[in-house]
């Protein structure tokens, strides 16, 4: 399949607009989780297609800001009761930290409670501090060993969802989770993992901080997707709106610096704040600035879904809600999308 064919296939799929969040990094957790729930409720009212969250474990004494959402199924059960149309996207559950059959059970129960709104993302990964707790046998393991372990865990998860017998008896997953098999997504950082996801028929979650450029990952996915398969490429799209680009950089400085410091070892080299923002794929400024920046990004043309992030440097949830409203009302139409009524696009981007 040629480069032009890949772009055409992505452009022929209705573009979805969702919200993505890494979850809270600041205590008290109860208030922060409730604020995050309300942010997603507001997103549904604005017409966003889905809410996606990332699973993070533990806090650390050397950096009390590090933390997040360790139990996304519990969180989404609360969100399911507050919403009626919002897709519930796990982006993603780190399988080396979990029992795959328990993940299948939690996903199936949540899908039943939410009337079929779950999008189940899975990831291979985990740092030494989490593997030491959940999977000590994988601490220090090489790439091939960890890939093999993940493949085995994923096979167990998919087998449970298919209704295969579990263990040595006649036990099967309850409730039935087979509908989820068409809603599996792989979180990827490389072209190799994206191609594997495509061969499986899964969707792919492409982040703002990749070990290779996002367009390389997305292109590899399209290249490997079987003929006739519908592509599912969710591209994380971080924004920071302001009255102009200089103001946006100034206001988002702390968030940009913190995020770049976290990923400096694998992100493109940068020294100025603007370079760091570009390295993080942050789209900032006026609605027109943000739309032009998204349109110019090489990865955008491969996307079938934009997962909008409003996290870099925002002072409070009020500003984050305002940013989501601005994207829905002013940015989305400029890139050929309509929040609340997905259309075939990126017509303005691919032209």
Helices (H), the chain: 3-11, 29-46, 72-82, 100-113, 128-134, 143-162, 191-200, 214-224, 245-263, 273-279, 287-296, 317-326, 347-350
pLDDT, greater one: 61 or 320: 320
| Model confidence pLDDT, tens digit, residues 123-151 | 998 888 888 998 999 999 998 999 999 99
CATH of domain 3-350: 3.20.20.30
Joined together, the tokens standing for residue 308 give: 């909008």
Q: Where are the domains of the chain?
A: 3-350
pTM over 0.75: yes
Residue 238: name the closest of 20, 12, 4 by CA. 20
Give CA separation, 333 vs 42, 248, 336, 337, in Å: 19, 21, 5, 5
Instruction: Using a pLDDT cut of 90, give the percent of the chain over it.
Output: 72
């Amino acid at each position: 399949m040629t480069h032009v064919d890949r772009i055409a296939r992505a452009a022929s799929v209705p573009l979805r607009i969702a919200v993505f969040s890494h979850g809270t990094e600041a205590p008290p957790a109860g208030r922060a989780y409730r604020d995050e729930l309300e942010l997603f409720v507001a997103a549904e009212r604005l017409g966003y297609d889905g809410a996606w969250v990332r699973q993070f474990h533990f806090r650390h004494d050397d950096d009390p800001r590090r933390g997040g959402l360790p139990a996304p199924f519990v969180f989404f059960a609360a969100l399911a009761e507050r919403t009626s149309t919002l897709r519930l996207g796990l982006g993603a559950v780190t399988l080396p930290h979990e029992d795959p059959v328990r993940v299948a059970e939690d996903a199936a129960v949540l899908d039943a409670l939410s009337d079929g709104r779950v999008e189940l993302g899975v990831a291979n990964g985990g740092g030494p501090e989490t593997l030491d707790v959940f999977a000590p046998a994988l601490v220090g393991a090489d790439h091939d060993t960890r890939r093999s372990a993940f493949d085995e865990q994923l096979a167990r998860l998919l087998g449970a969802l298919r209704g295969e017998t579990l263990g040595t008896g006649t036990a099967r997953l309850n409730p039935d989770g087979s509908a989820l098999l068409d809603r599996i997504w792989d979180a990827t950082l490389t072209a190799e993992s994206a191609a594997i996801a495509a061969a499986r028929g899964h969707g792919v979650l492409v982040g703002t901080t990749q070990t290779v450029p996002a367009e390389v990952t997305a292109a590899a996915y399209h290249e490997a997707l079987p003929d006739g398969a519908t592509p599912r490429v969710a591209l994380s799209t971080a924004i920071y709106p302001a009255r102009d680009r200089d103001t946006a950089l100034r206001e988002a400085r702390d968030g940009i610096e913190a995020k770049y410091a976290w990923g400096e070892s694998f992100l493109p080299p940068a020294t100025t704040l603007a370079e760091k923002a570009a390295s993080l794929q942050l789209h900032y400024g006026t609605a027109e600035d943000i739309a032009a920046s998204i349109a110019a990004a090489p990865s955008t043309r491969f996307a079938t879904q934009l997962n909008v992030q409003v996290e870099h440097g925002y002072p409070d949830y009020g500003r984050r809600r305002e940013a989501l409203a601005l994207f829905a009302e002013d940015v989305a139409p400029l890139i050929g999308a309509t929040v609340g009524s997905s259309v075939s696009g990126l017509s303005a981007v691919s032209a």
